[in-house]
Amino acid sequence: MSTDSELPGIFYPGLEGVISNETAITNLEGRKGDGDLEYRGYRIEDLADHVSYEEAAYLLLHGELPNVSQLSDFDSRLRTQRAVPVELIELLRKIPKSAHGMDVLRTSLSVISHYDSEVNASPTDHAANVRKAERIVAKTATAVAARERLLAGLEPVAPDATLDHAANFLYMYNGTKPSESMAKAFDLSLVLYAEHELNASTFAARVTVSTLSDIYSGIVAAVGTLKGSLHGGANEEAWKVLVEVGSPDQAEDWIQDALVKKKRIMGFGHRVYKTGDPRARILKDWCQKLAKEIGDDRWEKIAEPIEREVTIQKKLPPNVDWPTARLYHYMGLKTEVYTPIFALARVAGWAAHIIEQLDSNRLMRPRARYTGPANRPIKPIDQRG
């Protein structure tokens, strides 16, 4: 067996604390140094108050917030590139209804790639990658909405070029234009979900393209990674917690029992944020606003004691998935579409990281610490136990 001095290096389970990349896209330390979030130097609290998803996506892909002219041109490009191939719609009709939404999205993006006129451009062509990224942002929302309509036995709704990105998705999903507050809340959720440094899905995307694979392959790898319940699927699991509790008068007893039994409660705690996820704090207010708009604050009353007790007793503040689960419910969105929505927001961040990786690439090839048997001879087959 190798000695410690001969091993590749220190073992960090889950790669926690390992710095594998330098990035100019996202800072999770921020000014406070105890868990903040900045997109290219802008604090998420400031972005949430002042920019749309289109502006956030432009910032991630182009490096700076757009001026009026740049935003108008970018927005126009997105609106004119929303349509997906007819062949994809026909395929979506045939995919089994039991298929997981993230599996369907993975397939959809692969199909879309075949119809991209620049799919075979050099993987290191920065300008081509940015153009492809914009098309991916525009079309992913359409693909997700079309699948959901078909699952409901309805025909897909064509994109409406008069609506912005967030409002258009809700229109394609529900078939009706959303209220101003619903559209604003959804737009905000997309801004908050757009990017989050080197999480599992982003890391998977960067590893994939570090081989000089293309941007679509990187995005598909990210979608497959986001599917997991410990990553993107956490918002779906957070909603299941609320449904399990059922009513406000059950919440106090339920959470105390869950804490005694050391039950894992999804939507709380974060690998990076130790003092609270700033995105969760931002969305909590919007949950209360939408609950009031629809005239049903039952879920807020269920969520409040759970959030309070988990934060106090386990020192685990809520993460972004906790309020998002309620926010999307108030918009009439099915639980099964929560994670695909996460993806249609995050494609901007994934693409930004893919482009950054390919602009200054080095093949990612970590080592593993071997823990198997020591070197041993091969016995003749008749001598093996």
Q: Is the separation of the CB atoms in 124 and 361 below 8 Å?
A: yes
- Residue 208: how many other CB atoms lie within 10 Å: 23
Phi, psi of 26 (to 5 degrees): -135, 140
Query: Which sign does the torsion angle of CA 239, 242, 247, 248 carry?
Result: negative
- Residue 112's nearest CA partner among 129, 131, 134, 87 is 87
Tokens of residue 307, six digits: 């959030």
Active-site residue flag, 321: yes
Among 187, 321, 329, 353, the active-site one is 321
Cβ atoms of 190 and 167 closer than 8 Å: no
Active-site entry in 165, 187, 196, 270: 270
Q: Helical H runs in the chain?
A: 44-50, 53-62, 68-80, 86-94, 101-114, 126-151, 165-174, 180-193, 200-209, 215-226, 234-245, 248-260, 278-294, 298-314, 321-330, 338-359
* Residue tagged 């319940």 (tokens): 229
Tokens representing residue 130 in the block: 């940015």
Instruction: Give the 3-state secondary structure of residue 84.
Output: coil
What is the rounded CA–CA span in Å between residue 165 and residue 83? 13
Identify whether 46 is a catalytic site residue: no
| Other residues' Cβ atoms within 10 Å of the Cβ of residue 15 | 13
What whole-number distance in Å separates Cα of residue 187 and Cα of residue 163? 12
Using DSSP's 3-state secondary structure scheme, residue 141 falls into helix
Q: Catalytic amino acids?
A: 270, 321
